[in-house]
């Protein structure tokens, strides 16, 4: 089980969300409250966009996040208007940088909390379905990376919700054929550097927690003592696996089987429905 | 807060105590029950003696113990008649191999659970008291290593209980002079490759937990299903910060302010009393 | 470019070959003489068999070998009658434990020096040819691991030379079809815990160096000052990428396009010839 | 032996000096040309100042610099008007983050190439001379860190050249008393975030190489193809252990036993002369 967060808004130091909140993401790495596991010590990652550089940077650590001095340094000196961060509790695959989230492909970043059940049984079927041109870019062994490359194969860059619905449908088809009852459990976050999409779904309809904060103005009023919050822009948005402790009162749960989009213009929240092809695992 | 164990007896694979017991040391690294901290993810170490090589080997890891694949390999292939193992939860100093226990000096090994309070205030006073010839061998920055070198300075190799009593008395004197009420909290384990000494003491007389198992015959009867236990010799002894889960019924608490010796001949359990010199910090 | 060695004979401490020789493997990690790269600092591994435990142990390090303190400890305390060691200079894939040699599958170990050219172009074709039951065991992203699983697919456990000849033939067929002139460059070492097979081959017939030492009696006479060598059994054998410096005079080059077997009974040295199937890449 | 560089000027991405030049610092980590050792694989560090944050950030890595993916990411996204970078070849002390340069104290950064000879013999004498209030801040075991804290003790923050001259005089006095002929070998770089001081000195008057680039206008003309160089300000300055390969023609050697200051207003180059106190090691 993992934890992640996404931020979009006026540029802030990474540490404002990673370290400073009372129940910050780094704190959650040792003491998660809502998870299956209380310890998320199997790697950390953050990916961020700069104001003036197109490609996002990623920082992947295999140390427990709470011990990573470089992370603390980077987080206290790097400002970003859009970033994803992730703490990992491995469900079996190796603890190595290439298994750390966010996964990156060109200008896209991807984080996942959850798992593909019986992954070893269907790993090959899934791998064969990845587009030939994308196959060599998979570097790690995590189910989460495989989901990303499947989504890219199914058109993530053109239409993220449809691509994810097709990806999930495909994974469920393959899993069911191999005899796995509930093949997928997930919350997903992804971005192209402009919008953020967040999904909450599981085959058993009992998905990991996910929350969003729509209105910074409300949060600010609740927390007048948090200086930097007073300065972030009104459009700033947060999505988190677990509410940051000292910002309670400002969180809304993403409903079961739905997804949201944070974007220029109106944000959206919609139902999520896997798309089944009927021939997914031909590969 | 940390956790440690010591074993002496017929040679067994390290994994028999590190991994296999239900509430094993490696399991405690993620889920300690009796500690201040539930996570001991800031480094691991094991030091062992071979049947035919005099100097002990040490293996120090800065990864959380539960993720260390090399440790698992080594533990399942190395047999030893005498070893100390330790999982670390840092009280502030850096997570690096030179701060991992067991500390080694020649044929001695040393593990510590606890801390020197306000260590930064008295670190220099303590360092100056370390024997000049030993000073360059201190490689790390942990209070635990400093205690070891002070004990060596006070004659550990000749008379361990007296050396530790002098060391503790000295640390308390220095701490009190700097205004620290309860300067030291500790359980200590140490060995010269033949005997094992274990101490339980704290300035506030409220010391970390420590347990010993005196009679393997009893343990065997309680756990007939544990094959390897049936094979260990009658003289085999365990000392642990926290009972190994599936060997309950076989543990005795080391009393507050006392120490024990596991040795050829009769084992001993005696009261512990710091020795004050009255001029400790002249250095 | 990498370096490796294999040892079979009476049990010796790993350090006897890893550290003690003048131009030892660890020394080669910083100062290789015969290679394309002088530095092999991208990971290290050793796999060894014990006298009384069937499965081999592996130790994989992503630190440069010359800095790995744990390796030095393990090497000076572990004795083995049969081991493979490897220092890595990455040809592009990530430096992570799952890319470190020796690769292990059940009781087999595998090391490789060389590369699959344009690996990213044919990685998918090769992956699809791996037996379905073996596919989930591939953990890393290195070409060397893929070669191992292909060889297992082609019957390594029954007939190693034929399996390797089929594997190489397959890789060449796939590579040629993708337009790569000389798809494979390799020396390979592998063992099932009893015999050792060593191959030297490259598509361009200009293979990396490989040497073997057939007669310990000769080596002993040349180096009377090396105590431990005096004690190893007459049947002891070494295979090395690069002669260990202070054992010169005792090395024979493995001829281009050939392989050798170290086994109970007579050792063998035979020509190597890829086997082409004509339909390799159908996958 | 190590390598370092310092940059001051208009803000540039770290990668412009760490990775992009033909004989860049990262390249030197594997293939130094002018050093005693060709491999500097025992750690890396960079410390940088931001336009708008006072305290410098430091990034310390114990992986070889050429393998550090996080470093590559950070270097391609962080811009700085003033930074120091360092690649380490250990002269004996442990490879750990707390031994990586640049060392930092408040707003100061410090890098060192060279060594204190027979450091283990005089380590205690040097440590005792460190100001009591500074003592607890020393985290590592490297001679280079000790030199930094001695210089701070001798007034680095008020008058850097005098403090370094007193520090060097002191180390030579202590070393000579212990029978070491040539106690110190060094090039040093340090900064308070505004000016940079660079020293070249050794007891034997045969110091490690050090170069500076005074006139970016000249460098620009020599390298019209390097876009970013065209954009850096006229006041930009570089100091390097070894000329960056593709900027040849623009380097001046810092003379033996001298130091330079890069500062607002006129830069300076002056002779360096240790100051002897006659009672250094009383401590």
A85: CB partners within 8 A, 6+ apart: A4, A5, A6, A14, A17, A18, A25, A44, A45, A46, A47, A102, A111
Which whole-number Å values give the CA distances from C98 to A142, C242, D48, D63, in the listed order? Answer: 12, 25, 34, 17
Please compute the mean of the pLDDT values over residues A182-205 and round it to a whole number: 97
Q: What is the mean pLDDT of chain C?
A: 87
User: Which 3 state secondary structure label does DSSP give B197?
Assistant: strand
The interface predicted TM-score (ipTM) is 0.88
The whole-number average pLDDT for the span B121-136 is 95
Comparing A202-206, B27-31, B191-195, B225-229, which segment has the lowest mean pLDDT?
A: B27-31
Report the residue of B43, B61, B77 to disrupt the C interface, i.e. the one with the largest count of C CBs within 10 Å. Answer: B77
In this predicted model, which residue has the larger pLDDT, B283 or C10? C10
Between these two residues, B196 and D213, which has the higher pLDDT value?
B196
Q: Are strands B237-240 and B211-213 parallel, antiparallel or unpaired?
A: antiparallel
Q: How far apart are CA A209 and CA B280, in angstroms?
A: 57
Instruction: Quote the CA–CA distance of B238 and B226 in Å, as a whole number.
Output: 16
For residue D23, give how far its alpha carbon lies from the nearest alpha carbon of chain B (Å): 32
DSSP 3-state percent helix, strand, coil across chain C (nearest 5): 30, 25, 45
Count the alpha carbons within 13 Å of C88 in the hemisphere toward its beta carbon: 31
Higher local confidence (pLDDT), C235 or A282: C235
Cα C248 to Cα A153, A267, B187, C189, C232, distances in angstroms: 56, 73, 53, 21, 18
Peptide bond into B102 cis (omega under 30): yes
Contact flag C124-A139 (C-beta cutoff 8 Å): no
Structure tokens at C132: 């379905």
Please name the residue ranges forming H helices in C178-257. Answer: 216-222, 227-231
d(CA D50, CA A13): 13
Q: Tell me the pLDDT of chain B averaged across its residues.
A: 87
| Best A116, A135, A283 residue to mutate vs chain C (most C CBs within 10 Å) | A135
- The pLDDT tens digits for D162-204 are 999 999 999 999 999 999 999 999 999 999 999 999 999 999 9
The DSSP string of D119-162 is: HHHHHHHHHHHS-TTTGGG--S--HHHHHHHHHHHTTTTT-HHH
Within 8 A of D74 by CB-CB distance, chain A residues are 57, 59, 74
Least confident among B40-54, B216-230, D55-69, D139-153: B216-230
Other Cβ atoms within 10 Å of C163 Cβ, number: 21
Average pLDDT over residues A45-57: 89
Residue A61 tokens, joined: 């650590």
3-state secondary structure chain A: CCEEEEEEEEEEECHHHHCCCCCCHHHHHHHCCCCCCCCCCCCEEEEEECCCCCCCEEEEECCCHHHCHHHHHHHCCCEEEEEEEEECCCCCCCCCHHHCCCEEECCEEEEEEEEECCHHHHHHHHHHHCCCCCHHHCCCCCHHHHHHHHHHHCCCCCCHHHHHHHHHHHHHHHHHHCCCCCCEEEEEEEECCCCEEEEEEECCCCCCCCEEECCHHHHHHHCCCCHHHHHCCCCCEEEECCCCHHHCCCCEECCCCEEEEECCCCCEEEECCCCCCCCHHHC
List chain B residues with CB under 8 Å of A95: 63, 67
pLDDT interval class at B127 (50, 70, 90): very high
Chain C residues with CB inside 8 Å of D67's CB?
A: 41-42, 90, 95
On the 0-12 / 13-18 / 19+ scale of CB atoms within 10 A, B256 is middle
Radius of gyration of chain A (CA): 18
**In contact, D55 and D106? CB cutoff 8 Å:** yes
pLDDT cut 70: percent of chain D above it? 88
Q: What is the pLDDT of residue B29?
A: 65
- Measure CB to CB from residue D94 to each of B93, B98, B120 and give the nearest one: B98
Put simply, the answer to whether B95 touches A63 (Cβ < 8 Å) is yes
B148 pLDDT tier (thresholds 50, 70, 90):
very high
Asked if B190 and B108 count as a contact pair (C-beta separation under 8 A), the reply is yes
Q: Which two tokens stand for residue B129?
A: 């008291």
d(CA A200, CA A283): 26
Is A132's CB within 8 Å of C124's CB? yes
HSE toward the beta carbon, residue A35, CA cutoff 13 A: 25
Distance from CA of A130 to the nearest CA of B (A): 30
| CA proximity to D193, closest of D84, D87, D266 | D84
> How would residue A64 be classed by pLDDT, with cut points 50, 70 and 90?
confident
Write down the pLDDT at residue A159.
97
CA dist., res. B90 & res. B95, Å (int): 7
SS (H, E, C) D197-233: EEEEEECCCCCCCCEEECCHHHHHHHCCCCHHHHHCC
Q: Given phi > 0 = left and psi -120 to 50 = alpha, else beta, which region is B242?
A: beta
Other CB atoms within 10 A of residue A103 CB? 30
CA nearest neighbour of A46 among A34, A33, A29 = A29
Looking at residue B24, its pLDDT comes to 74
Is the pLDDT assigned to residue C157 strictly greater than 80?
A: yes
Closest chain A CA to residue B96: A67
Contact A272, A200 (CB under 8 A): yes
Residue in C53, C59, C78 nearest the CB of B70 = C59
More confident position, D249 or B9: B9
Residues β-bridged to residue D269: D260
Angle, helices C143-153 vs C160-177, to 10°: value is: 120
The model's confidence at residue A40, banded by pLDDT at 50, 70 and 90, is low
Prior bond of C144 cis (ω within 30°): no
Residue B111 near residue B86 (C-beta atoms within 8 A): yes
The stretch C181-191 carries a mean pLDDT of 97
What pLDDT score does A280 carry? 46
pLDDT in the model for residue D245: 62
Task: Read off the pLDDT of each residue in C158-168 and give the average, rounded to a whole number.
Answer: 98
- Residue B43: per-residue pLDDT: 82
Q: Has residue C41 got a pLDDT over 80?
A: no
- State the helix-helix crossing angle for D143-153 and D160-177, rounded to 10 degrees: 120
What is the Cβ-side half-sphere exposure of residue D212, based on CA atoms within 13 angstroms? 24
Query: Is residue C233 pLDDT above 60, yes or no?
Result: yes
CA atoms of D107 and D57, how far apart (whole Å): 9
Confidence of residue B195 (pLDDT cuts 50, 70, 90): very high
Separation CA C20–CA C225 (nearest Å): 13
Question: What span, in angstroms and rounded, lies between the C-alpha atoms of A67 and B90?
Answer: 9
**Partner chains of D (3+ C-beta pairs under 8 Å):** A, B, C
* Integer CA distances (angstroms), B116 to B44, B130, D155, in order: 20, 16, 31
- C203-233 exposure pattern, b = at least 16 Cβ within 10 A, e = fewer: beeebbbbbbbbebeebbeebeebeebeebe
How many Å apart are CA C122 and CA C124, to the nearest integer?
Answer: 5
Predicted pLDDT at B36: 45
The shortest C-alpha distance from B96 to chain C (Å) reads 12
Ramachandran angles phi, psi of A85, nearest 5°: -135, 155
* Alpha helices for chain D (secondary structure H): 15-18, 25-31, 69-75, 119-129, 143-153, 160-177, 216-222, 227-231
The answer to whether residue C101 scores a pLDDT higher than 90 is yes
Are residues A139 and C94, on separate chains, in Cβ contact within 8 Å? yes
Give which of C61, C118, C125, C127 to mutate to test A binding, by max A Cβ within 10 Å.
C127
Cβ-based burial of A247 (10 A; exposed 0-12, middle 13-18, buried ≥19)? buried
| Residues of chain C contacting residue A153, judged by C-beta atoms under 8 Å apart | none
Structure tokens at A199: 């999904």
Kindly give, in sequence order, each residue whose CB lies less than 8 Å from that of residue B155, ignoring residues fewer than 6 positions away. B162, B163, B166
Positive/negative CA dihedral, C88, C92, C93, C95: positive
**Distance from C-alpha of D53 to C-alpha of B248, rounded to nearest angstrom:** 56
Residues in chain A within 8 Å Cβ distance of D58: 73
């Amino acid at each position: 089980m993992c934890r992640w967060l996404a931020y979009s808004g006026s540029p802030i130091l990474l540490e404002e969300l990673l370290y400073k909140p009372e129940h910050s993401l780094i704190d959650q790495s040792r003491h998660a409250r809502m998870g299956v596991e209380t310890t998320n010590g199997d790697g950390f990652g953050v990916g961020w966009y700069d104001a003036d550089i197109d490609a996002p940077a990623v920082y992947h650590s295999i140390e427990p996040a709470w011990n990573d001095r470089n992370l603390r340094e980077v987080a206290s000196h790097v400002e970003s208007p859009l970033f994803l961060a992730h703490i990992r509790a491995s469900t079996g695959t190796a603890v190595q940088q290439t298994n750390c989230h966010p996964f990156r492909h060109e200008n896209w970043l991807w984080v996942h909390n959850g798992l593909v059940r019986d992954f070893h049984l269907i790993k090959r079927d899934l791998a064969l379905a990845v587009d030939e041109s994308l196959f060599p870019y998979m570097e790690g062994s995590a189910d989460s990376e495989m989901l990303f490359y499947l989504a890219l194969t199914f058109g993530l860059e053109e239409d993220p919700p449809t691509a994810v619905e097709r990806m999930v449908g495909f994974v469920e088809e393959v899993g069911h054929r191999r005899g796995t009852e509930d093949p997928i459990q997930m919350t997903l976050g992804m971005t192209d550097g402009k919008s953020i999409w967040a999904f909450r779904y599981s085959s058993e309809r009992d998905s990991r927690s996910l929350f969003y904060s729509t209105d910074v103005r409300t949060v600010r009023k609740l927390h007048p003592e948090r200086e930097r919050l007073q300065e972030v822009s009104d459009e700033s948005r947060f999505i988190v696996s677990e509410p940051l402790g000292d910002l309670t009162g400002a969180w809304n749960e993403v409903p079961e089987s739905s997804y949201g989009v944070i974007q220029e213009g109106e944000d959206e929240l919609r139902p999520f429905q896997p798309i089944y092809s009927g021939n997914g695992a031909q590969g």
